Amino acid sequence: MADEGRTGASFALETQWGARPVEGGALFQLWAPDARSVALVAGEGGDDTRTLDMAREEDGWWRLVTDAVAVGGGYGFSVDGGKRVPDPASRSQVFDVHGPSRLVDPRAYEWRSTGWTGRPWHETVFYELHVGTFTPEGSFSGVISRLDHLRDAGITAIELLPIAQFGGRHGWGYDGVLLYCPHNVYGGYEGLKRLVDAAHERGIMVFLDVVYNHFGPDGNYLPAYLPSFFHADINTPWGPAIAYDEAPVRAFMIENALYWLEEFRLDGLRLDAIDSIKDTTDKSFVEELAETVRVRITDRHVHLTTEDERNITQFIERGADGSVPRISGEWNDDFHHAAHVLATNDREGYYIDYEWESAEQIARALATGFVYQGEHSPHRKKIVGEASEHLPPTAFVNFLQNHDQIGNRAFGDRLRSLSSARAFDCLQAILLLSPQIPLMFQGDEFGDCNSFCFFTDFDGELGAAVSRGRKAEFAHFSAFEDPSAQEVFPDPNDYSTFTTSRLDWSLLERPVNRRRLQVNSELLSLRREVLFPLLAQAPGDCGQAVVDGRAFIVSWQLAPGQFYHLFANLEDAEWEIGDDFDGTLLDDATEVFSNHAHTVEELKEGRMRGYSVAFILTGRDLTEGLSE
């Protein structure tokens, strides 16, 4: 694997792939087992460009040490006499994905926050953001300018959508092709380090969304000169599968994860759509990556999360002592889908698997993890999921909105604009004060309702194909029952689709948005004061739920003698809890939060007004003896 080198307040990771300064110049490395020759092309394409043959070594590696490229200089590779291609492990590009790579010195940046040891997992409050649309600047520096705002709001972790260099200037980032290279438009290699440093100085963790299931279509030269990187006989939605059974390919990806965590001192990674990784090895790539991270990085808190629609638990299992041997938490789409349907009665696509008339599914997600734990999914037409009640609540990352659930709607509309304000506010309180790890999308803290659409920056036939495909994807949805809707459908390659997806910070000048920020900040303050201490050792098998239509109670025993309760009524009518509920048990209860005055007094009387939420801490389980 790789060796880490540290000099003073600098951090670098020595990888098998890529280029780095060494004594005598710089070392250049490329795995190309099918090649007859490989040459280093030194320079940026001008008259000073030089071509130097590289030496073939064992197992298909080609290497060269030379002083022909200075730090900051451009270079690339020519395989079998072909045109220059960028280094697939380039840390920086001179121009874009099609141009030369740029040699950087990983140890040149002097870190200020060298004493940072991270934050424990249970203190995580995620804020997902897209660097290009988060601020008008669309850069890492722009994110830095808003870190104080996020810290004051109660955010403890920002999660960046993918930033690996992709084709074009703007896009979501899931079409990255140079996986070691921070996108130039955002501020590049040095800009990302400055952002992480600034965040750590404010006590904020930085996570990165990484994509290990495919490469993007624009600027991916690997198939042309390195066919062994892929399995031509295993297909994915993006083309041939990545050949994870090849040791150099596996190292490329695992070292990539270590690179972000060690050289940039990131606090965690989100592994995108791991169910789409076609891995033919006995030990799964995800398992090996996670275990490698746990073994290598022991001097600070580092966390890993996954997106996986299978609802499996093997990666998020806990050790006998409650430790995290692999993945810290799984994005729980089930919670989102159940909440979305309760708020909107949306019945299209995968939402047909979820109920509007009953809160049973959201209560199950809150109490025991997944909704689908081995049941048949009507949408997927198969059994989905595994039992998850044995896991602690912190094994799940819950959200009401994220880039996918907003941007993969035809018009990029947010839940707040689709639901009633009362429903959304109740669900937001449930999200932020339940014991699962919460995630908000950019602007949620002050109630932004602006669209966040899917956008790309592709030219020619690729751009036209993406635009056609996007329209075809939504053709059967009700949003297009009116043919005129096609006329205003946001074309992914129209520049205005990108610009109108920018976060509108001027909303903070409006009283209603300032109030929403105030409420969410107060909720996160309560989370910090009440939940953080309780979640440090939260066990599995701790949740119980009682459901009555769209009203429910969830009880979690988070510590010995500490029962944390959620009472929620998500309909207009008052909820009569029932004669078997003993309201006197609330006499010694601690009210953590309620969105209406006198809620606890009303609960003692066995009733709860419409669209109400309350969190209560007691010394015993209030759901005992209750029937649904």
Superfamily of domain 123-331+398-529, CATH level 4: Glycosidases (3.20.20.80)
The answer to whether residue 4 scores a pLDDT higher than 70 is no
Q: How is the chain split into domains, by residue range?
A: 3-102, 123-331+398-529, 542-618
Count other C-beta atoms under 10 Å from residue 584's C-beta.
7
CA distance 478 to 464: 24
Q: Lay out the sheet containing 50-53: strands in order across.
A: 50-53, 38-42, 74-79, 101-102
Per-residue pLDDT tens over the stretch 246-274 = 999 999 999 999 999 999 999 999 999 99
Mean pLDDT of 573-601: 94
The answer to whether residue 6 scores a pLDDT higher than 80 is no
Q: Are 481 and 546 in contact (CB under 8 A)?
A: no
In this chain, the answer to whether the domains covering 123-331+398-529 and 542-618 adopt an identical fold is: no
What pLDDT score was predicted for residue 8? Answer: 41
What pLDDT score was predicted for residue 288? Answer: 98
The answer to whether residue 561 scores a pLDDT higher than 60 is yes
**CA 578 from chain center: how many Å?**
41
Q: Which residues are catalytic?
A: 272, 307
Mean pLDDT of 407-414: 94
What pLDDT score was predicted for residue 3? Answer: 40
Mean pLDDT of 62-75: 98
What 3-state DSSP class applies to 445? helix
Q: What is the maximal distance between C-alpha atoms in the chain?
A: 88
Q: What percent of the chain has pLDDT over 90?
A: 93
Mean pLDDT of 513-518: 98
Superfamily of domain 542-618, CATH level 4: Golgi alpha-mannosidase II (2.60.40.1180)
Strands 157-160 and 205-210: parallel
Statement: the pTM of the whole predicted model exceeds 0.95:
yes
Confidence class of residue 486 from pLDDT cuts 50, 70 and 90? confident
Domain 3-102 fold is: Immunoglobulin-like (2.60.40)
Per-residue pLDDT tens over the stretch 181-192 = 999 999 999 999
Provide φ and ψ at 614, rounded to 5°: -145, 140
Mean pLDDT of 525-548: 97
Rg (CA), the chain: 26
The answer to whether residue 5 scores a pLDDT higher than 50 is no
The answer to whether residue 386 scores a pLDDT higher than 70 is yes
Mean pLDDT of 115-120: 97
The answer to whether residue 513 scores a pLDDT higher than 60 is yes
The answer to whether residue 415 scores a pLDDT higher than 80 is yes
Which H/E stretch holds residue 344? helix 333-344
Q: Which two tokens stand for residue 318?
A: 């806990």
Per-residue pLDDT tens over the stretch 317-371 = 999 999 999 999 999 999 999 999 999 999 999 999 999 999 999 999 999 999 9
